[in-house]
Amino acid sequence: MTTVGRIALDVMGGDHAPRKILEGALRATDPTRDDGLHADRILLVGPRAQLSPILAEHNALDRFEILDSVEVIGMHEEPGTALRAKPKATIPMCIEAVRSGDAAAAVSMGNTGAMVGAATLILRTLPGVRRPGIAITSNLTGKPTTLLDMGANAAPRGSDLVEYAIMGAALQEGVLGVKDPRVGLLNIGEEDKKGTKLTKEARELLLESGLNFVGNVEPDGIFTDCAEVIVTDGFTGNVVLKLIEGFGSFLLDKIVREGKRIGQPLPDEVLDEAMRSVDYSEYGGALLLGVNGVVVIGHGRSDSNAVLNALKVAAKDLDSNVNGRTVEALAKRAKEHPAP
């Protein structure tokens, strides 16, 4: 057994930790599943004393290696302060495992800011990347669309958005096999002059980037397959993410209630189909692109299905060598467009 391709899983992250996180790991490594991961590929990071009884319940006491870690960074702690106060908490320990080579990927459903902070500090960014970006690949249109940054950096520069575009394109090519993916810039109009100082700056740089840049994409473009990669700043990206989730739940709830009220409840098939569009657990987690290692950040409300999918995302990214491809793409860009 080697530690190549191993995934450090923060068992204490998210609202349903540790039980649902462990159940996700158990499902991902279910030996009766054809697409299951080998249990060797998962390194549990959390308090052994708390995990053992739950594993014992599932007759899986010896299935995983455990990296004992008793401290936890809460969902609402200020990331910088928390990381300084608790360097041995599960989040920095997961990331440290990647740095030391004990694992190749880190997965947490916990504090996003702490994951971004720990990864940036401990793993450092890839050559040519100033700031990492959080990428989510959704499948709303039936074709995967990668959106970034969904909240790592609320105030990026134009050049950061170009780096996001290069990394998003490398992900689409490397993991999803999309040749020369279309890149769009999220904006409030299709016209050149629309937007903010940032979008104008990013637009100019993207036009010269050598990427397959298709120009500005309006927010409804996310649902109409007009680009495989859509870049934006982390503030807007996070608003988009939370709005889709909030509005989707709101609208579905309204439809379900009205159906009940008139005595014609929504059929399960219809509800399931609609839910798939708004259910984060199907996406499995966001990728932090631009750091030296595969880092997956799941939703705080993750259930065991979401954890399972997050582990699959991590495994797939490792197996397709996303980071290697990203480094190559960044180096190619640096050669063709040397920094001024």
Q: Which residues bind a copy of itself (CB under 8 A)?
A: 76, 78, 140, 151, 154-155, 186, 188, 191, 193-197, 199, 218-224, 234-236, 238-240, 242-252, 254-255, 258-259, 262, 264, 266-267, 269-270, 273-274, 277-278
CB of 241 to a copy of itself, least distance (A): 8
Q: Which residues, in sequence order, are bridge partners of residue 251? A: none
Beta strand 133-138 with 145-148 is antiparallel
**By C-beta, is 212 or 277 nearer to a copy of itself?**
277
Q: Is the peptide bond before 18 cis (omega within 30 degrees of 0)?
A: yes
Q: How far is the CB of 233 from a copy of itself (least distance, A)?
A: 8
Q: Which of 186, 185, 306 is nearest to 245 (CA)?
A: 306
Instruction: Please state the closest distance from residue 250 (CB atom) to a copy of itself, in A.
Output: 4
Helix (H) or strand (E) holding 96: helix 90-100
Nearer to a copy of itself, 61 or 188 (CB): 188
DSSP annotation of 122 reads I
Cβ proximity to a copy of itself, 180 vs 192, nearer residue: 192
Considering the complex, state which of residue 36 and residue 248 has its C-beta at the smaller distance from a copy of itself.
Answer: 248
- Specify the residue, 4 or 251, whose C-beta has the smaller distance to a copy of itself: 251
Nearer to a copy of itself, 2 or 264 (CB): 264
Report the candidate in 153, 93, 155, 82 with the shortest Cα–Cα distance to residue 122. 93
> Nearest distance from residue 319's CB to a copy of itself, in Å?
32
- Choice between 31 and 142, CB closer to a copy of itself: 142
Q: Measured from the CB of residue 255, what is the shortest distance to a copy of itself in angstroms?
A: 5
Q: Is 121 helix (H, G, I), strand (E, B) or coil?
A: helix
Instruction: State the minimum distance, in angstroms, from the CB of residue 329 to a copy of itself.
Output: 28
Q: Whole-angstrom Cα distance, residue 237 to residue 90? A: 27
| Sheet architecture: strand order including 212-217 | 65-68, 42-46, 7-10, 105-108, 294-297, 286-289, 133-138, 145-148, 229-231, 182-186, 212-217
Name the residue among 281, 182, 268 with its Cα closest to residue 227.
Answer: 182
Instruction: Give yes or no for a contact between 137 and 150, defined as CB atoms under 8 angstroms apart.
Output: no
User: Minimum distance between the CB of residue 234 and a copy of itself, rounded to whole angstroms?
Assistant: 8
- Closest to a copy of itself by CB, 47 vs 74, is 74
Q: How far is the CB of 324 from a copy of itself (least distance, A)?
A: 32
Do 288 and 119 contact (CB within 8 A), yes or no?
yes
Distance CA 31, CA 17 (A): 23
Q: How far is the CB of 198 from a copy of itself (least distance, A)?
A: 9
| CB of 309 closer than 8 Å to CB of 284 | yes
Nearer to a copy of itself (CB atom), residue 215 or residue 248 = 248
> Comparing C-alpha atoms, which of 280, 286, 313 is closest to residue 28?
313
Q: Which residue has the tokens 């509800």?
A: 271
